[in-house]
Amino acid sequence: MSIITVENVVKSFDALGVLRGISFTLNEGEVLSIIGPSGSGKSTLLRCLTQLERIDSGRIEVCSMTMAHSTGGTIQYADAKTLKQIRLKLGLVFQNFNLFPHMSVLRNITEAQVNVLAKSKGEAVATARQLLAKMGLEEKEDAYPCHLSGGQQQRVSIARALALNPTVLCFDEPTSALDPELTIEILKVIKDLAKEKMTMIVVTHEMAFARDISDRVIFMDEGLIVEEGPPDVLFNAPAKERTQRFLSRYGQ
């Protein structure tokens, strides 16, 4: 079943076309990686899905709810209530974590459960502890983000996103701010989530990782999807010259 449908999405910043007609679907339980050079629009695409940016035209559907669609040349966004519902279907893990520095690890994970989902404090804490245990951070619930390593911070931010029980978890270059050792730590967490059949979109520069965990890979360049397919095909026998050129630079 398709969870996300993106049709012909266009997004410009001033005169610069960042997304120039993007279409794809995401199915339940699928792990989709988006790769491509810097400036290809992959992060912007993720930010449009999570409503951090507004699209100029096209159509986005999430869990059978229409988030935005073009009618007669203008973009029409859903009402605030629907947009909020859609927002909660999608979790986002940022490149630089964006944890709340003044809140303890536990409170980072409970705050939205209590204030957005209106869960009881006890229930929220129980969920948070369960997630922290899963992330191997059960000792850290009282720590503040500044006392954690980058890898630990990123694991907390993954727990924070998972605490709202999203249908899809999106990662925006989740390891780009981490050194190689910490990168492995995060990639393992994402791999474990993939094993549990969590539906995920991962924007990444880690080619080996994308090949390893993805069901499908999209290669983007200059605001367009150049090529799309299963990882074996895309990495081993890319059809397009542009994809070959990009991958050869990564020593594939």
The least CB distance from residue 222 to other proteins, in Å, is: 25
The least CB distance from residue 221 to other proteins, in Å, is: 25
The least CB distance from residue 112 to other proteins, in Å, is: 4
Q: Which residues pair with 13 in a beta bridge?
A: 16
* String of DSSP letters for 153-200: HHHHHHHHHHTT--SEEEEESTTTTS-HHHHHHHHHHHHHHHHTT-EE
With respect to other proteins, which residue has the nearer C-beta, 51 or 243? 51
Q: Choose, by CB under 8 A, the member of 100, 138, 179, 191 that binds other proteins.
A: 100
Q: Which one of the spans 89-97, 119-127, 202-210, 213-221 is the region binding other proteins (CB under 8 A)?
A: 89-97
Question: Could you identify the residue written with the tokens 């912007």?
Answer: 44
Strands 168-172 and 199-203: parallel
Q: How far is CA 56 from CA 13, 48, 154, 214, 229, in A?
A: 10, 10, 32, 29, 27
Q: Which one of the spans 17-25, 65-73, 96-104, 188-196 is the region binding other proteins (CB under 8 A)?
A: 96-104
- 3-class SS of residue 52: coil
With respect to other proteins, which residue has the nearer C-beta, 77 or 144? 144
With respect to other proteins, which residue has the nearer C-beta, 55 or 225? 55
Count the residues of the shown chain that bind other proteins, applying the rule CB under 8 A.
27
Under rule CB under 8 A, residue 136 binds other proteins: no
Residues 167-206 that bind other proteins (CB under 8 A): none
Question: DSSP alpha helices (H): ranges in 64-120?
Answer: 80-89, 105-115
Specify whether the CB–CB gap between 226 and 219 falls below 8 A: yes
Amino acid 209 reads F
Specify whether the CB–CB gap between 9 and 51 falls below 8 A: no
Site string for other proteins, 24-63 (x = CB under 8 A): --------------------------xxx-----------
Site string for other proteins, 137-156 (x = CB under 8 A): -------xxx----------
Record the tokens describing residue 49, joined without a space.
Answer: 């899905």
Residues of this chain that interact with other proteins (CB under 8 A) are: 50-52, 84, 87-88, 90-92, 94, 96, 98-102, 111-112, 115-116, 144-146, 157, 160-161, 164
